[in-house]
Amino acid sequence: MERNPDTSESHILTRRDGPVLIITLNRAERLNALTRDMLATLGKVFREGGEDSAVRAIVFLAEGRGFCAGADAQGLEDSASTLVNDQLAVPMPTFTARQVGIYKPVICAVNGICAGAGLHFVADSEIVIASERAAFTDTHVNVGQVTALEPIALSRRMPLGAVLRMVVLGKAERLSAQEALSLGMISEIVDHDRLRERALELGHIAAGVSPAAVQASLKAVWGSLELPLSEAYRRGYEAVVRHREHPDAAEGPRAFLEKREPRWSNS
C-alpha cells in the first residue's frame, strides 16, 4: 500500500536488520523538524520495539543534510496561541526510548545539525556517534521558548558549564563534532560516508550481548541519576543479585568455558 507522503508515518521510517531496529527521521526538506504527530509516532515505535523480544538494539538515524532542527516552528506557534485551563496539565511528550521506559541499547548517529528538541535523542541514547559535519546548538531562547528538558538531560552526560553556555547563548553557541567529543556529548566521530555503516555495526555488537543483562544494567545506571549514591548502589546490587536467577547468568560463563558463542534467552 502506498502511503501519503504527508503523514507522520512517512516521516518516521522503520526497518529491521536482524535483531536491530532501525528508526529514521525522514522529513529532510524541513531538516527533520519534529511535529506533534511525529513525536507521537516516535513514542509508539519505541514502545513497540521495547515490547518485541526479537529486537535487541535500536539504531536512530536521520535522512538529508540535517539530523534534527528541533520542534516544528508552526507547532510552537500553535501551542503558544492555545490556552488551556491548567498549563501544567498538558502532558509531557514522550518520544525517546528513555522517556517511554525502554532500556534496550540505542545508538544515535548525528549526520548534521542537531538543534533544540533534537538534543533529546543525544541526551537519551546510550551511544552517540557523529559525522564530521555534525553540529549541536540549542535555539529555544532565540524563538522565545524556555529550554529546560534538553539541558537538564544533557547535564547528566557533559559539563554543566558547557550546557549553560548553550542555554544562554542560543544559536550563537554552536558546538562542532570535535567540541562535542571533547565534552563527552558524543563518543565517536566517523567519516560522514561511513556514519550509517558504523551505527549499524555498533547496533549489532550491542545486540550480541545478553539482552536481559544489558537492559537490567542500563536501567540501573539511568535510574541512579535520580538517586543518592548509597541508594543507587543498593538498588544496583539488588539488580546484580536478581539477575543470578536468569538463564543468561549461567549461560554466559558456560559458553566461555566451552569456547562457543552464548545462546541468550529472549525471556
| HSE-up (13 A, CA, CB side) for residue 3 | 9
Q: Which helix (H) or strand (E) holds 239?
A: helix 229-243
Q: Residue 25 is part of a domain; what is its CATH number?
A: 3.90.226.10
Kindly state whether residue 82 falls inside one of the protein's structural domains. yes
Kindly state whether residue 191 falls inside one of the protein's structural domains. yes
Kindly state whether residue 263 falls inside one of the protein's structural domains. no
Residues 104 and 231 in one domain: no
Q: Residue 228 is part of a domain; what is its CATH number?
A: 1.10.12
Residues 241 and 189 in one domain: no
| HSE-up (13 A, CA, CB side) for residue 196 | 10
Considering its fold, how many domains does the chain have in total? 2
Q: Three-state SS for 68? A: strand
32 closest CA partner among 12, 60, 54, 49 = 12
pLDDT of residue 73: 72
**Largest Cα span, the chain:** 65
Contact partners, residue 27, CB within 8 Å, separation at least 6: 11, 33, 35, 38, 63
pTM of the model: 0.91
- What DSSP string runs through 20-33? EEEEEE--GGGTTP
Other Cβ atoms less than 10 A from the Cβ of 130: the count is 29
114 closest CA partner among 103, 124, 104, 105 = 124
Grid coordinates 539482552 are at which residue? 211
Q: Three-state SS for 130? A: strand
Angle CA(34)–CA(39)–CA(43) in degrees, nearest 5? 150
* Residue 251 burial (10 A CB sphere; 0-12, 13-18, 19+): middle
Residues 99 and 218 in one domain: no
Residues 171 and 245 in one domain: no
Tell me the average confidence (pLDDT) per consecutive run of 10 residues in the chain, 267 residues long: 51 98 97 96 97 97 97 64 58 92 97 98 98 98 95 97 98 98 98 98 98 98 96 97 97 97 90
Enclosing domain of residue 247: 211-257
Kindly state whether residue 221 falls inside one of the protein's structural domains. yes
